[in-house]
Structure 1
Amino acid sequence: MNHDVPALLVKVGPSPQNHGCLGALRSLGRAGVPVYAMVEDRFTPCAVSRHLADRFVVPTTGLEEPRTLVSALLRLGRTIGRRTVAVPTDDESAVLLAEHAEALAEWFVLPPVPSALPRALASKEGLRRVCTEHHVPTPRAHAPADRTQLLAYARDLGYPLVLKNLEAYTRVRSPVVTHTTVVHNEDELLALIGPRETPSVLMQEYIPPADAEDWITHLYCGARGAPRAVFTGYKVRSWPVRSGATTRAWARPNPGLARLAAELCRRIGYSGVADLDWRFDRRDGLYKLVDFNPRIGAQFRLFESGQGVDVVRAMYLDLTGQQIPRAEQTYGRMFVVGQLDLLSATIDAWQERRVPPAVLPRRGTERAWLSWDDPWPAVAESVRFGGTVGRRLTKPLRPHG
């Protein structure tokens, strides 16, 4: 790999414990690419990685005007001093880079994605419309315009149902839920919505776990949606349990799903890295698309080709004019987010009244945080995770007022 062109990990909003960002840093850094990162402070896991060329402390909130964020990126580009591959690590940064690609082109190398497409795909309602237009199965869903529609749609979908924040920036500006949330009755629904007259949520059909399998596809697509690297895997556990981010997954072959994901990207002309979540519904035998994240996925390091190429390396090679080596996906790899996977397995077993499964990863497993050639991020994460647990445990003891 020619690694003369640097890379910048771009983020919008607070997410210091983003292991996808760390995975991208390690993947490119180990290949010799000078990698820079936007971080919240000097002690985030990414900020202490040995593979980092330099860190920029830019504690964004997601409430800034786009022109402010673009100006900040241009300043970083001038500081780096040469054109740089920009790697979006969250939906908000993917939207920002796409919608302001022309202004950023002086300093950043970006995939030629249609400017409005990442926002449409990151929007839960926008994705539903894309799926409908291109005949891709997706769970039944509604986006209520007011409380009257909210209750009417809930009756149409039936309980339990799934709630998601509607738009890319909603989760950092005015989130209705902190993550994908299952609602079991009207009282729970109204408690979550609160006094909002215009709730910014998507209400989605609930597919019972007994009737479902969770699958993921990670892709890199070149110009006009040409798939250049496509990977498939099976999601074992998540945190929060059965509704959140992946904590354990396997790289498994699924040629039909790979074709479905690649064909969708080709039809809509999507260019860049993408992380797609699918739910296989045994009731009708269909793979249903539930999320399209137009950026790197937190668990993307699960996936590699026989040549050691993941989606981030594929993007870097393509955008710097280099050939992406052709090789089949390596199957049998496992990805684990240690402490969260332990919590997920324990709580899931308790809810199902069964003995918790073995959670120790086998040799060769890709770990989200721990790496023997780069140990300090795991230490930094342990400190932050311990602080988070401590604050939650002591919250009931703190005085209110």
Structure 2
Amino acid sequence: MPCRQSFDTLVPTVLVRLDRNPFHHGTLGAARSLGRAGIQVHAVVESPTSPVARSRYLRSVRTRPGTDSSAELAALLTRIADEITDNPSHPVLPIPLDDVSALALARRRDRLSPRLLLPEQTEEQLLRVADKAALAGTCAVLGLPHPRTEIPTGADEAAAMAWALGLPVVAKWSRPWLLPAGGGLRSTSVLRSLAEVRELYARSPEAGSRLLLQELLPAGRDLDWFFHGYVDTQGRCITGATGRKERSWPDGAGLTAAGRWAPNPTVDRTARELLDALGYRGVCDLDFRLDRSTGAYHLLDFNPRPGAQFRLFADREGLDVVRALHLNLTGRPVPPHSPAYGRRFVVENYAALSHLTSPRRRSTAEHGTGDRRTEYAWWAPDDPMPALAMGRAWLRHLLRKALTAHGRLFGSGRRRPPAPPAVPPARSSSPHLTPR
């Protein structure tokens, strides 16, 4: 069957990722998706030695700016556009692959257009969903199910709120892209004691944004779902699909280690109605969890850019949200997205950790029906070098973590006695607080 996608291969793409994570497989997926379509692909990543830099589909790799300044990023992209095109008016398509990049490009959109092709989004519009506190408020305004969320202003209040929500609780930093590199702070964590709540709140000054405490919805088989979509310049979600998270890392509360393309009309309808209500444009990645006690799907996260596992939703002709973005912003028609239910996506390094810690099957889904293809995040027969580079880097990463843990445990020569348990505050009878 001939491919119905007709790309303008004269418009090059620059993948932009400002975070320092060398294991971001979504960057590699975008390089392969567009490169296989004959589009010239360049990248701005954390290091020229990044595993993704070994991909045969990348024409060049630049190192991210020293800071997350939108001005520095805009200047870098302008220089790259001048280097990779002969005509100073020739368009170039930048694709942000993390939140900070998406926000930085939206902030500079008026100055970068029309040379750089970007969806019609402002930074303020993206912050309504990228900022975790703002997302809670957005859901409250729109009546969309969302886990109960509290925003403490002190350590004692944080402990009281956590106790009222019920331990364990989910802790999130409102703007995780502001977290300092190497500080040991995670964007999301599960806290199981009031001592952990107090300790994490005490680190608020270094986190750069507010700490949120959320009710932990019970995890379980087939409860975690995601939606990936692309909304075109006319406001139509022309490419969108739902998938089920089968394995995650960390288990039960982390990123997708293995997922399957599966129909979920409720999640699909909810996501599309939300995008329409927001007037959203561009690529998005939404995470949901089903609350079995109410039957409601709660929106957990909204990422205003391609999700790392977006390649799960590549149909038989290779159409995915990144290709849809390129087609639409270069004025080409986007063909209908054909469902491939049953198709799987596996992230090798995280799936291995998930199997080690939780060998049981995470899904009761039918096996061997529908589309039986599996795409791996790192390994591809036509592009093997990134997987080999990732394997070496991953082993070094695990060794460093093991040595660090060993040093913390035995560095002082003897283990300290455990601290006495914290005395929980009395349960509050005050009404639930919601962010404004």
TM-score, length-scaled by structure 1: 0.91
Matched, 1:385 2:389: no
Matched to 1:244, the amino acid is G
Cα distance in 2 between the residues matched to 1:56 and 1:92: 17
Total equivalences in the alignment: 392
Note if contact 1:214-1:234 (Cα within 8 Å) is conserved in structure 2: yes
- Tell me the CA shift for residue 355 of structure 1: 9.1
1:327–1:40 Cα change, 3 Å: closer
Matched, 1:125 2:133: yes
Give the alignment partner of residue 146 of structure 2, picking from 115, 138, 146. 138
Note if contact 1:345-1:356 (Cα within 8 Å) is conserved in structure 2: no
Give the alignment partner of residue 157 of structure 1, picking from 165, 187, 193. 165
List aligned pairs for 1:283-322, cutoff 5 A: 283-322=293-332
Larger mean CA deviation between 25-34 and 104-113 belongs to 104-113
Matched, 1:208 2:212: no
Note if contact 1:163-1:183 (Cα within 8 Å) is conserved in structure 2: yes
Matched to 2:81, the amino acid is G
Cα distance in 1 between the residues matched to 2:151 and 2:184: 13
- Tell me the CA shift for residue 64 of structure 1: 3.7
Note if contact 1:164-1:203 (Cα within 8 Å) is conserved in structure 2: yes
1:280–1:397 Cα change, 3 Å: closer
Matched to 1:342, the amino acid is A
1:257–1:147 Cα change, 3 Å: same
Matched to 1:333, the amino acid is R
Which residue is equivalent to 1:253?
A: 263
- Tell me the CA shift for residue 382 of structure 1: 0.6
Give the alignment partner of residue 68 of structure 1, picking from 69, 72, 77. 72
Give the alignment partner of residue 102 of structure 2, picking from 94, 99, 107. 94
Matched, 1:78 2:82: yes
Question: What do residues 73-97 of structure 1 show as CA deviations (whole Å, max 9, x unaligned)?
Answer: 2222222233211111001001111
Matched to 1:123, the amino acid is D
List aligned pairs for 1:208-247, cutoff 5 A: 208-210=218-220, 213-223=223-233, 225-247=235-257
Which residue is equivalent to 2:375?
A: 366
Which residue is equivalent to 2:47?
A: 41
Note if contact 1:176-1:192 (Cα within 8 Å) is conserved in structure 2: no
1:196–1:331 Cα change, 3 Å: closer
1:128–1:186 Cα change, 3 Å: same
- Tell me the CA shift for residue 308 of structure 1: 2.5
Larger mean CA deviation between 239-248 and 372-381 belongs to 239-248
Matched, 1:181 2:189: yes
Which residue is equivalent to 1:116?
A: 124
- Tell me the CA shift for residue 173 of structure 1: 6.4
Matched to 1:23, the amino acid is G
Larger mean CA deviation between 240-249 and 68-77 belongs to 68-77
Note if contact 1:13-1:172 (Cα within 8 Å) is conserved in structure 2: no
Matched to 1:293, the amino acid is N
1:158–1:7 Cα change, 3 Å: same
- Tell me the CA shift for residue 168 of structure 1: 4.4
Structure 2 unaligned segments of length 5 or more: list them. 1-5, 413-436
Larger mean CA deviation between 279-288 and 238-247 belongs to 238-247
Matched to 1:369, the amino acid is W
1:337–1:173 Cα change, 3 Å: closer
Note if contact 1:251-1:303 (Cα within 8 Å) is conserved in structure 2: yes
- Tell me the CA shift for residue 9 of structure 1: 0.3
Larger mean CA deviation between 81-90 and 228-237 belongs to 81-90
Cα distance in 2 between the residues matched to 1:33 and 1:41: 23
Cα distance in 2 between the residues matched to 1:79 and 1:146: 50
Which residue is equivalent to 2:417?
A: none
Matched to 2:109, the amino acid is A
Which residue is equivalent to 1:17?
A: 23
Cα distance in 2 between the residues matched to 1:43 and 1:234: 33
Question: What do residues 334-381 of structure 1 show as CA deviations (whole Å, max 9, x unaligned)?
Answer: 0101122121122124xxxx6999xxx987311000000000000110
Cα distance in 1 between the residues matched to 2:80 and 2:153: 40
- Tell me the CA shift for residue 211 of structure 1: 8.5
Larger mean CA deviation between 129-138 and 89-98 belongs to 129-138
Q: Rg bigger for which structure?
A: 2
Which residue is equivalent to 2:60?
A: 54
Larger mean CA deviation between 220-229 and 280-289 belongs to 220-229
Note if contact 1:225-1:267 (Cα within 8 Å) is conserved in structure 2: no
Q: Secondary structure at the match of 2:247?
A: strand
Q: Name segments (4+ residues, structure 1) moved above 6 Å.
A: 173-176, 354-357
Q: Secondary structure at the match of 1:216?
A: strand
Q: Secondary structure at the match of 1:312?
A: helix
Q: Secondary structure at the match of 1:278?
A: strand
Cα distance in 2 between the residues matched to 1:366 and 1:211: 22
> CA-atom RMSD, angstroms?
2.5
Cα distance in 1 between the residues matched to 2:402 and 2:181: 26
TM-score, length-scaled by structure 2: 0.84
Cα distance in 2 between the residues matched to 1:47 and 1:365: 23
Cα distance in 1 between the residues matched to 2:298 and 2:237: 20
Matched, 1:274 2:284: yes
Cα distance in 1 between the residues matched to 2:225 and 2:361: 25
Cα distance in 2 between the residues matched to 1:200 and 1:243: 20
